[in-house]
Every structure is written in structure tokens, then in C-alpha cells.
Amino acid sequence: METISSPTSSVPIHPGMPLLGNTLAFLRDPLAILRTLQQRYDRVVHLRIGGRHQYLVLRPDDSKHIMQENHRNYGRSPAFNVLKIFLGNGLLTSDGDFWRRQRRLAQPAFHRQKLAVLAQTMVQETADWVDEVKQHNQQPVNVSQAFMDVTMRIVCKTLFGSDVVGKLDGLSSALDTLQYYANQRMLSPIRFPMKWPTPAHQRFRRASALVDSFIYGVINQRRQNSTSQHDDLLDMFLNAEDEETGERMSDQQLRDECVTLFAAGHETTAVSMAWTLHLLANHPDVLTRLRAEVTSVVGDAPTPSADVFRALPYTMQVVQESLRLYPPAWIMSRLAHQEDHIGPYTIPAGDTALVCPYLLHRDPTTWPDPERFDPDRFAPGREKDRHPYAYLPFGGGPRLCIGNQFALMEMQILLAMVVREFDCRPVPNQRITPQPLITLRPKRPIMLYLIK
Ligand code: HEM
């Protein structure tokens, strides 16, 4: 392991190819190269990827420095600009004072009490979906796709309430097209200008027009009929007023935030759920303990009250351990506005700092036997043995995921309602490996037997 302790050391550079640097190695197998970096370097390592200088920090305290202590020095990296064609200037893509104002406006909608209202919608949507999954009895279920479907319904229903009824299929398929296209564009080395009429650009424009016409239509109706009350996120955003200025969100801003919540909240949760079931199917002892908790607390009412899902501590431990092994946001990048210092090392202005939950969550000094699935790592009191930034599935600092409580609640409900109905068994001879795209997906869809 290389450790450099002089007061102003230069950051060790990981060897790469002339001109391309480490780009090809990262394109070929990013997780393998990350693990090598963790073994070989102690604190910070300098990489050259896609023509940019990137500084990967490896320790929890340095991750905290970037995300929290010196967060004002760091902005959105250029990678986020591509997402703006889809998300506009929403919470995920915006920066600076504009982001701060939006975050102030949006935050109250994610308050615990407000989420309690949305929880019942989650339970209802999950109950309907479980009934559909029951039809697959005896057949392997593509759980990757199944969770995409249900999280899509949940996010659309919690955003737009009953206004989406009858339009869900069209809306979700258009949103899917937008997200797919933005993902492709983000990952592609060649990007044609958007105004070129390629078939992909035309599909994107059609989907975009459908989504905008739906969202602006609903906003318009609600503005005209301001006395009607809807228990959904759009209503909370429509009524949100900046405490400092009294301002509200414009229609364009409402549209951007709705699409952002959809994009940020749908695939992340679906992918995490698929990983969780995969882990459970391969750890029957954990599944048995989990089911015992769920059946005693939730009972067998077809649509339980959302309140009961709060009292499921072991279910939460399973969710947390699954997010440790497979954090959907496996790496986070930040652009340094000014030069910054990490111990003896310098991160130059204009370069990128990388914080990597995938590595932090597998650091053997914090997590003994890190590849082992062990929900008891999250048993009450255990967190005091580790640095708070050793576990970052939802990021940290002021840009902490605004939907973290929403996601944890949704995963608890989904998981409890699935294990209460089904036994999960792996399909033999499947090799499931992670593929780090924008989220950490399984390379091939996860197929499981869900047995009634
Ligand atoms: C398992 C599920 C989820 C995971 C692992 C996750 C993870 C994250 C992470 C790591 C960030 C910070 C990114 C960064 O700092 O660069 C983030 C931001 C964000 N997430 Fe989530 N998320 C999840 C679910 C959700 C849900 C359900 C919603 C909304 C309903 C949501 C909305 C957002 C938004 C709007 C941001 C940007 C916040 C800001 O910058 O102010 N996420 N998420």
C-alpha cells in the first residue's frame, strides 16, 4: 500500500495508457479496477478518465470533508449536464442558490408526517401488484422487471394521485423512454446534437411532449380548482411557499421537479428490491427470520394499515444490508470550484472528486468479511462502531437524497408484503453479477421462483 506523508505530496497517479489514461480499464470493468485501487492506495488516487482528472477518495473522513465539511467548494460534475435534457433544472441537476431555494421548497413534502399519507398509497399499489405476481406461481419471475413496474406505479401515484388513473401506462412508458434515452446519452462517447432528426431523438421528443402535456395539464387543472385537495407530492409542491421570500414554484419548475422525482426515485428503489430478493433467496435462514417478524407484525389483512410497517426492525436491517452490498448510487462525483486539500494532497480547481459508496461499504477495516450478507451488522447500537460516512447509500451532507425516508418506507412495505405471500428460491445456474451503469444494476435480469 502506498502511503505518502510529506506535508505537500502529489497524489499518486494510477498508471494508465498514453492519452486514454484509465478510461478503457474503467469502461471494461469499473468494479474490478475500484477494488484494485482500494487495495493499492491509502487515501486518494489520481485517475484520468474520459479526458478528465478525477481524484478518488478512499476514506470515510475524507468523503465527509467533500460532501459535508467543504461542500460549498463542490458542484455538480459535467456528467449531470446530459441529464438536463430530460430533467431540466430540478433538484438533481441544479446547483448553487437556485438548488438551495428548490431544496427549501421541496423538503417539507418529505417530512415524516407527509410521508405517512403517501404510505397508504404504497400499500394499496403493492397489494394490487402482489395479486398480479401470484399468477406466475410455478414460473420463474423476472424480479428486476417486476419491481420496475411496481415502483413506477408507486412513484406516479404518489406524485399525481388519482389524476394518473387511466393514463398510467402511457405516462410510464413515455417516462421510461426519456430515462432510457438520457441514460444512453450519458454513457455514450458520441453525442449527436439534439436537433438532428435521428429516430432516437424523435422518440425522445414524442415522449417528452406527452409527459409535458400531462404534467402541465394537471398543474393547470389544479391551479384553476385550488380548493380541491389531493394527498400527493404534486399538491405539496404546488402549495409550497419559500419562508424567506414567499415565492412558489413556477409551472416549469414543478414539471422539472416531478420528472426528477420520477427519475431519481423509481429505478434506484426497483434495483435495490431486486438485489434484496436475490440475497434472500440465497440466504434462507435470513428469509425465515424476516418472515417470522413480518407475519407476527403485519398479519394477513389483504391491505394492511400503513402504520404497522413502522414496527419492523429486522426488515429494516435486511434493507440496510442489501443497500450496503449493492448501493444503487455506487459512485458520486463533484466538481472542485477551488483548489482543495485532503491531508497532504491537493485537488486542483476544475477537477473532479469521486466518493465511492461501493468501496466504502466494502472496506474490510469497517466491515469485517465485507462480501458476507449479514443484516445483524445493522442491529441496534452497532452503528456507533463505525464512521458515519462509512455507509452512504443515500449520499451525505446537504445533498443527501431527499427521498431517503420515502425509499426506506417503500422498500419495507414492498419487502414485507412479498415475503408474507411468497417463498423465494433461486433459479439454478444463474450467475448474477453487478453492472455499474448509472445505477448498480444486475448484469442480467434476476429470475426467481416466488412460491405461494
Ligand atoms: C433505494 C433508493 C434510493 C437511493 C439508493 C438513492 C440514492 C441517492 C443518492 C446517493 C443521492 C445523492 C447523489 C449525490 O449526492 O450526488 C440522491 C439524491 C436524490 N434522490 Fe435519491 N435515492 C433513492 C430513492 C429516491 C427516491 C424514492 C426519491 C424521490 C421520491 C429520490 C429523490 C432524490 C432526489 C430529488 C435527489 C437529489 C437531491 C438534491 O441534490 O437535493 N431518491 N439519491
Say what the pLDDT of residue 2 is.
Answer: 45
User: Are the C-beta atoms of 93 and 197 separated by less than 8 Å?
Assistant: no
CB atoms within 10 A of CB 88: 16
Which band of pLDDT confidence, cut at 50, 70 and 90, is reported for residue 171? confident
Q: Which domains does the chain have, with CATH numbers?
A: 23-451 (1.10.630.10)
| DSSP structure class, residue 89 | S
Give me ligand 1 centre to Cα 225, in Å: 32
Which tens digit of pLDDT belongs to each residue from 59-91? 999 999 999 999 999 999 887 888 888 899 999
Contacts of 99 (CB under 8 A, 6+ apart): 91
| 18 CA distance to ligand 1 middle (Å) | 36
Residue nearest to atom 19 of ligand 1 (CA): 401
Query: Each residue of 1-50: pLDDT tens digit?
Result: 544 444 457 899 999 998 899 999 988 899 999 999 999 999 999 999 98
Report residues whose beta carbon is within 6 angstroms of any ligand 1 atom: 91-92, 103, 260-261, 264-265, 268-269, 272, 328-329, 332, 393-395, 399, 401-403, 406-407
CA distances from 410 to 25, 131, 152, 160, 332 (A): 36, 18, 12, 17, 23
H-helix or E-strand spanning residue 434? strand 434-436
ipTM of the complex as predicted? 0.99
Residue type, 319: V
User: Which ligand 1 atom is the nearest neighbour of the CA of 266?
Assistant: 27
Q: Looking at ligand 1, which residue's alpha carbon is closest to its atom 27?
A: 265
Task: Give a three-class secondary structure readout of 37-84.
Answer: HHHHECCEEEEEECCEEEEEECCHHHHHHHHHHCHHHEEECCHHHHHH
DSSP string, 303-364: S--GGGGGS-HHHHHHHHHHHHHS-SS--EEEEESS-EEETTEEE-TT-EEEE-HHHHTT-T
Residue 9 DSSP code = P
Instruction: Give distance in angstroms: CA of 104 to centre of ligand 1.
Output: 16
